[in-house]
Amino acid sequence: MIVTEPPRLSNRDVGIGLRLPHVAEIAAARPDLGFIEVHAENYMAETATLDRLLELRRDYPVSVHGVALSLGSAGELDRVHLGRFKALIERVEPMLVSEHLAWSAIGGAYLNDLLPLPYTEESLEVFCRHVGEAQETLGRRLLIENPSSYLRFRHSTIPETEFLTETASRTGCGILCDVNNIYVSATNFRFDPITYLDSLPTTTIGEIHLAGHQAAENVDILIDDHGSRVAPPVWELYAVALKRFGPVPTLIEWDTNLPALDVLLDEVRHAQQLANRHPYAHAA
Amino acid sequence: MPTLLELQLQLRGAMLGEITPELVAEIETVGLPAKARLRIYRNHLVTTLSAALESTFPVVCRLVDRRFFAYAAHEYLRQHPPQSRCLAEYGAGLADFLSGFEPCKDLPYLADVARFEWALNTAAAVRETSPLEIEALAAIPPERAALLKIALQPSVSYFASGWPIDAIWLANQQKEVRPVDLASGGTTVEMRRADEGFSWQRLAPGIFAFRRALAEGLALGTAAATAAADPAFDLAAALDRLFAERLVVGLGAC
């Protein structure tokens, strides 16, 4: 293995999740950010919030992150929702479009959480069919994010990384590698996060997510709450991921207990510094 | 081994109500029991949906206090989980739910406050279109005027209550809530989208009846007749104001 001239992670490669309380400040100060990422479902109505996003879109690339397509649901995709997703994409023209390895709706009820799938052949078939249908309807390649997990099913037969890899192989989708999710799941289920990273197909990684987590009360579980700074071991894992995947666009997610915008920008700078200390190494 | 559909229906049950032994049997328990694992997801569901409802119904929440609101929201979401996947669109049925919710029976105006807030939320999510100028009326032959239909901005809605809901809403925008005289009577209000969200105004009974009738698709003559009970109603002035407020987006015959 040789270390080539490192493709450095520039300001253009690190973004933040856009949350309402920061919109006015970003619009006024126009901080140096690679991109902003929004949850698709928060911008599907003709609200003033959408107008603000469309204004910011003039200055920043936007990544659209879906949280409710429920690609893992048994049965059919919600075509109305998919249509609204498509309409948003046509307006925003995002640099990236992503969703989750999860499900959240069944029997007409939307459960507003990224619920875990059993990793079985049946799930894989359903999930790939839905990813393929969504990509076809949206006319875009999707990135699929690995989940943070608090439970696993006894009848799962496929390792999560294999499930993701197989989905990418069958549908042509990419993978959104959420480094914090890997750390949270690895801690909750006592597996080695680096082995997990090493099992992901390098060339399919289209984005990295970083976020904070916290320990649950009274139980030995980490909760992926996106409510604090990125934890030191997650930064370490990020360095490993960059070394393995190269300088992919990286997002700082912070969705609860929102801090001042400066704190997020400080996390962005930290991601850039770290990336530039860990040049991409790949086999010659 | 359950099918994916069977498992997901069981999980839906666990998220909204009871955790079944069949579901527990499917979950790995090393380090933590299955029920505790399921509760992590359920807590997230309940917390985020309650927060979404609180964000849409801040005045209802303030009137009953946050703890009680969280309790009511939990009961509501168990019975009426969201159908839309956009959380801002969750809560259409909260007013009806509250009107039949026994612990709220001492607050008879509460359901109407919820209806008011829901209508504001709805208005904020519909874009307005280019309004017509009053000159557009000149093209209408006088003999057709009574049958004319006037299309209003798509974001507009009309709200009536036997309680002073607008005064309650306004009082609860302040840090210190001043008492509202519940005996001061009802209210008739128009809501619509505005640049930064929504706006609303109280309307006199005649203007309110007139505009609401137009919004319901009634012809100009019929709408004017519904407003005639208000002696202060003046059709020419009402039409002037309708256009001046950029409310008219289309004119058509019956």
Task: State the DSSP string of A75-90.
Answer: S---HHHHHHHHHHHH
Find out whether A229 and A263 touch, Cβ atoms under 8 Å: yes
Q: Which residue of A has its CA nearest to B155?
A: A46
Contact A151 B83 (CB under 8 A): no
Interface of A with B in 159-188 (CB under 8 A): 188
Per DSSP bridges, beta strands A143-145 and A96-100 are parallel
pLDDT band at residue A280 using 50, 70 and 90 as cut-offs: low
Residue A7, pLDDT above cutoff 70: no
CA distance, residue A263 to nearest chain B CA (Å): 24
pLDDT over threshold 70, residue A32? yes
Alpha-carbon gap, residue A13 to B77, rounded angstroms: 40
Q: Compute the nearest-CA separation of B125 from chain A (Å).
A: 5
Pairwise pLDDT comparison (A15 vs A284), residue with the higher score: A15
* Whether A16 contacts A252, CB under 8 Å: yes
Count of pairs with CB atoms under 8 A, one residue in A, one in B: 123
Is residue B122 within 8 Å of B94, Cβ to Cβ? no
pTM for this entry = 0.93
Which chain B residue shows the shortest CA-CA distance from A121?
B4
The whole-number average pLDDT for the span A140-154 is: 97
* Fold category of A2-282 in CATH: TIM Barrel (3.20.20)
Residue A129 half-sphere exposure toward CB, CA atoms < 13 A: 12
Contact A161, A201 (CB under 8 A): no
Kindly state the tokens that stand for A31.
């901080």
Q: Are A28 and A55 in contact (CB under 8 A)?
A: no
Decide: A39 and A67 in contact? Cβ < 8 Å.
yes
Residue A19 above 80 pLDDT? yes
**Structural domain boundaries of chain A?**
2-282
- CA A214/CA A210 separation, integer angstroms: 14
Chain A residues with beta carbon closer than 8 angstroms to that of B46: none
Q: A126 to chain B: which residues are within 8 Å by CB?
A: 4
Assign A2 a pLDDT band (cuts: 50, 70, 90): very low
Query: Given an 8 Å threshold on Cβ–Cβ distance, is A46 in contact with B3?
Result: no
- For the record, the structure tokens of A62 come out as 């936007």
Q: CB B196 to CB A216 under 8 A?
A: no
Average pLDDT value for residue range A39-57: 95
CB burial readout B22-51, b (16+ within 10 A) else e:
ebbebbeeeebebebbbbbbbebbbbbbbe
**Nearest chain A alpha carbon to B36:** A219
Tens of each residue's pLDDT in chain B, 254 residues: 899 999 999 999 999 988 999 999 999 988 899 999 999 999 999 999 999 999 999 999 999 999 999 999 999 999 999 999 999 999 999 999 999 999 999 999 999 999 999 999 999 999 999 999 999 999 999 899 999 999 999 999 999 999 999 999 999 999 888 899 999 999 999 999 998 899 999 999 999 999 999 999 999 999 999 999 999 999 999 999 999 999 999 998 75
> Nearest Cβ partner of B12 from A51, A109, A152?
A109
Name the residue among A44, A75, A188 with its Cβ closest to that of B5.
A75
Closest Cα partner for A12 from A240, A247, A184?
A247
Residue A282: what pLDDT?
46
Query: Is a pLDDT exceeding 60 seen at residue A250?
Result: yes
| Chain A environment of B32 (Cβ under 8 Å) | 219-221
Residues in a beta bridge with A229:
none
DSSP class of A148: P
- Minimal CA separation from B228 to chain A, in Å: 36
Q: Which residues pair with B248 in a beta bridge?
A: B152
CA gap A71, A214 in Å, rounded: 27
Contact A203, A159 (CB under 8 A): no
CA distance B201 to B182: 19
A226-236 pLDDT, tens digit per residue, is 999 999 999 99
pLDDT of residue A218: 81
Let me know: does A281 contact A245? Beta carbons within 8 Å: no
CB contact under 8 A, B9 and A106: yes
* Predicted pLDDT at A14: 94
The yes/no answer to whether this complex scores an ipTM above 0.90 is yes
A262 HSE (CA, 13 A, CB side)? 0
Check if the beta carbon of residue B49 is closer than 8 Å to that of residue B82: yes
Subunit contact A150:B15, Cβ cutoff 8 A: no
- Which pLDDT belongs to residue B196? 85
Cα(A274)–Cα(A280) distance, integer angstroms: 12
Tokens representing B246 are 């950029």
Closest to B114 (Cα-Cα) out of B150, B159, B152, B47? B159
Span A173-181, mean pLDDT? Answer: 98
Q: Do B4 and A223 touch (CB under 8 A)?
A: no
Contacts of B88 in chain A (CB under 8 A): 42, 45, 47
Average pLDDT of chain A? 93
Q: What is the pLDDT of residue A279?
A: 61
What is the Cα A109 distance to its own chain's centre?
24
